[in-house]
Structure 1
Amino acid sequence: MGDVTSEILTGLGLAITLAGAWITARAVILKEDDAINIGVSRIVSENDEENLQLPMVQNLLASSRGARRGLLLIAGGTALQLVPIAVRVVMLAFA
């Protein structure tokens, strides 16, 4: 397998990893309103500030923050790996 082909496949694999991380994180990243709708029983306050203090809503929001941080770390790591690959592909293409 040629150098260019190898680099392109590695870059494609990293791009697929990034897309998979995005899809996975998107499934658990919630807005406050979504967390309230999921985590609040129907017999509670109509005040969102009070509902945001409920343990289930807080748990959902903490999970969402963790998913967002995880996605950012995976995206950052993948981007750092893609940069030298892109540079090598360009250098090999013009060499």
Structure 2
Amino acid sequence: MRREYNLVFKTLIVVFLIGLPYLSYVAIKSMVERKGREIKRIESEILRTKKSINNLERIFSERIDYKKVESKAKQMGFDYINPQRNKIFVVKD
């Protein structure tokens, strides 16, 4: 009887030493894959949003009357740079 308990005890130890790390590896791997898919989905949504914004900017830039905007800005006391007449440079730090 005592031998059977020793065998069961040793079997449980082996299962915990081998099975537990493997099960945690599988759980972590599936979690990482799920998060990766979620990140890719968010990335594709961001790209679609950027394309939509670019399309809207293009549509609205064709409709803007820059002379009216410039005169309105001068009336309100703002300096206005017309992007059609002046090149705008983006300076990065």
Please give the range of the TM-score, normalised by the shorter of the 2 chains.
Answer: 0.3 to 0.5
Give the TM-score normalised by the residue count of structure 2. 0.40
Give the TM-score normalised by the residue count of structure 1. 0.40
Asked which structure has the greater CA Rg, the reply is: 2
Q: Does 1 or 2 have the higher relative contact order (CA < 8 Å, sep 6+)?
A: 1
